[in-house]
């Protein structure tokens, strides 16, 4: 199913604005790189530094606003950079630690539905402790009131980081349920594209810590979840069209570095 024309326009506007804001606020690194500069030239070095800077902030400058725009048609609430909650009960904290210990020692396999229910049972038991958690990158509320909290990651996250990613997902559950134990809530990791295409995404580094069925959406899975079937291909077309339409603008930006 193709994206509606109005949504395509909105997506393209978001991309253009994001790129123009990057142009306006980006300055090449002032650090002296005499070997790189003499070998490549300042214009090529400036392009490299721009791409590196864009990659570093792609999630917040590109993927987050695009995800919000894409999800608006299918979800009744779409927000970014949200606080999951401010408190976690001491008993929920204990349950989370037990889950993490059992996964780390391979006593159990990840099972998100069971983990959520274990936390739900104790989400208001014991001492309520104030917490400052990692912010939710994308929060969605579906038409059936299910809440989805997404943590956007780079295409190749460090394998060693999945232990902390898992803890974050569980803490979001506990803090959200602490104020309303009846919430239907899901917390997931989103990886916006598959660097291994056309091969399947290499998920083995997550196995044993992440419930691959219930806690992870990669590339097409993620974008089609937000925008419906065909959203991923439609979004790629939008990126390509914006690149073509802004080619002269992009070339003009980098031309100022020639001859340095």
Confidence of residue 182 (pLDDT cuts 50, 70, 90): very high
Same domain (yes/no): 94, 27: no
117 contacts 177 by C-beta, under 8 angstroms: no
181 contacts 120 by C-beta, under 8 angstroms: yes
pLDDT digits (tens, 9 = 90+) for 58-91: 888 899 999 999 999 999 999 999 999 999 999 9
Same domain (yes/no): 15, 115: no
- What does the alpha-carbon distance between residue 71 and residue 78 come to, in Å, rounded to a whole number? 7
For the record, the structure tokens of 210 come out as: 């992440």
pLDDT (mean) for 47-57: 76
Quick one: pLDDT at residue 33? 75
Instruction: Give the list of residues 6+ apart from residue 180 with CB closer than 8 angstroms, or none.
Output: none
Same domain (yes/no): 22, 93: no
pTM for this entry? 0.90
pLDDT at 240 over 70: yes
Residue in this structure with the two tokens 């959520």, named with its chain if needed? 116
Supply the CATH number for residue 174's domain: 3.40.1560
* Containing structural domain, residue 32: 1-62+246-260
Nearest residue to 128 (alpha-carbon basis) of 87, 70, 98: 87
Same domain (yes/no): 92, 182: yes
Instruction: Give the list of residues 6+ apart from residue 144 with CB closer than 8 angstroms, or none.
Output: 184
Quick one: pLDDT at residue 257? 67
- What does the alpha-carbon distance between residue 135 and residue 84 come to, in Å, rounded to a whole number? 7
Same domain (yes/no): 186, 250: no
Residue 238 domain flag: no
**Residue 60 DSSP code:** I
Residue 233 domain flag: no
Same domain (yes/no): 52, 99: no
Domain count, the chain: 2
Same domain (yes/no): 211, 88: yes
Quick one: pLDDT at residue 95? 98
Quick one: pLDDT at residue 259? 53
Same domain (yes/no): 56, 184: no
Residue 47 domain flag: yes
Same domain (yes/no): 91, 14: no
Residue 234 domain flag: no
**Residue 62 DSSP code:** I
For the record, the structure tokens of 143 come out as: 């038409």
Residue 196 domain flag: yes
157 contacts 121 by C-beta, under 8 angstroms: no
Q: At what angle do helices 5-25 and 247-255 cross, to 10 degrees?
A: 0
Residue 239 domain flag: no
For the record, the structure tokens of 90 come out as: 């001491």
139 contacts 244 by C-beta, under 8 angstroms: no
Quick one: pLDDT at residue 258? 64
Residue 236 domain flag: no
For the record, the structure tokens of 231 come out as: 């959203």
Same domain (yes/no): 135, 35: no
Residue 241 domain flag: no
Instruction: Give the list of residues 6+ apart from residue 197 with CB closer than 8 angstroms, or none.
Output: 219
Which sign, positive or negative, has the C-alpha torsion 216, 221, 227, 231?
Answer: positive
SS3 at position 155: coil
Per DSSP (E only), the strands in the chain are 77-82, 87-89, 128-130, 136-141, 147-152, 185-191, 216-218
Radius of gyration of the chain (CA): 21
Same domain (yes/no): 57, 110: no
pLDDT digits (tens, 9 = 90+) for 187-228: 999 999 998 888 888 777 777 899 999 999 999 999 999 999
pLDDT digits (tens, 9 = 90+) for 108-166: 999 999 999 999 999 999 999 999 999 999 999 999 999 999 999 977 777 678 889 99
Same domain (yes/no): 55, 79: no
Nearest residue to 250 (alpha-carbon basis) of 47, 6, 55: 47
Residue in this structure with the two tokens 């401010």, named with its chain if needed? 86
């Amino acid at each position: 199913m193709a994206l509606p024309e109005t949504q395509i326009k909105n997506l393209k506007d978001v991309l253009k604005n994001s790129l123009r804001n990057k142009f306006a606020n980006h300055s090449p690194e002032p650090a002296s790189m005499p070997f790189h500069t003499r070998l490549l030239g300042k214009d090529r070095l400036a392009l490299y530094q721009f791409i590196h800077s864009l990659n570093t902030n792609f999630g917040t400058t590109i993927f987050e606003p695009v995800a919000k725009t894409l999800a608006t048609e299918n979800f009744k609430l779409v927000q970014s950079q949200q606080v999951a909650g401010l408190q976690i009960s001491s008993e929920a904290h204990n349950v989370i630690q037990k889950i993490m210990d059992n996964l780390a020692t391979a006593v159990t396999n990840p099972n998100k539905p069971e983990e959520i229910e274990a936390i739900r049972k104790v989400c208001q038991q014991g001492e309520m402790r104030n917490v400052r958690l990692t912010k939710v990158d994308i929060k969605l509320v579906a038409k059936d009131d299910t809440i989805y909290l997404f943590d956007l990651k780079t295409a190749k996250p460090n394998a060693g980081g999945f232990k902390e990613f898992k803890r974050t997902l569980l803490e979001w559950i506990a803090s959200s349920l602490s104020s309303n134990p009846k919430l239907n809530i899901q917390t997931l990791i989103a990886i916006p594209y598959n660097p291994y295409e056309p091969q399947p995404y290499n998920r083995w580094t997550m196995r044993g810590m992440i419930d691959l069925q219930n806690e992870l959406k990669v590339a097409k899975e993620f974008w089609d979840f937000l925008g419906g079937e065909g959203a991923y291909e439609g979004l790629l077309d939008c990126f390509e069209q914006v690149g073509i339409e802004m080619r002269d603008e992009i070339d003009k930006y980098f031309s100022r570095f020639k001859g340095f």
